[in-house]
Amino acid sequence: MKLGKVAGTVVSTISHPIYDGRKLLLCDLLDADGADTGGYLICVDAVGAGHGETVLIIDEGNSARQVVGDPTAPIRAVIVGIVDELLVDGRAHQVT
């Protein structure tokens, strides 16, 4: 799993039918302290995440396909949780 922060929405006029009715979100990747790593992923939203929220991302195709319930779906990354707080080495990091 990876940490990310929702930076925006991806809009595609032509896409595979598995994406119908699903939001695609652009997520900046974060390190364990919540700092931006410079990387990003485009993720299918499975939890109703919004702009600026810190999220848990599964970045592994087979697991992502299990979340959407289609073993042949062309999906790699999916948002599976919204993070309220990070606790690293006993230190709490508030997320926004």
Confidence check: pLDDT of 95 > 80? no
> Residue 90: pLDDT band by 50, 70, 90 thresholds?
confident
pLDDT tens per residue, range 15-47: 889 888 899 999 999 998 888 999 999 999 999
Domains of the chain: 2-94 (2.40.50.220)
In the chain, the amino acid numbered 22 is R
Annotate 57-96 with b (16+ C-beta within 10 A) or e (fewer): bbbeeeebbebeeeeebebbbbbbeebeebeeeeeeeebe
- pTM comes to 0.88
State the chain's mean pLDDT as an integer. Answer: 91
Q: What's the confidence (pLDDT) of residue 96? A: 62
Token pair belonging to 2? 């990876």
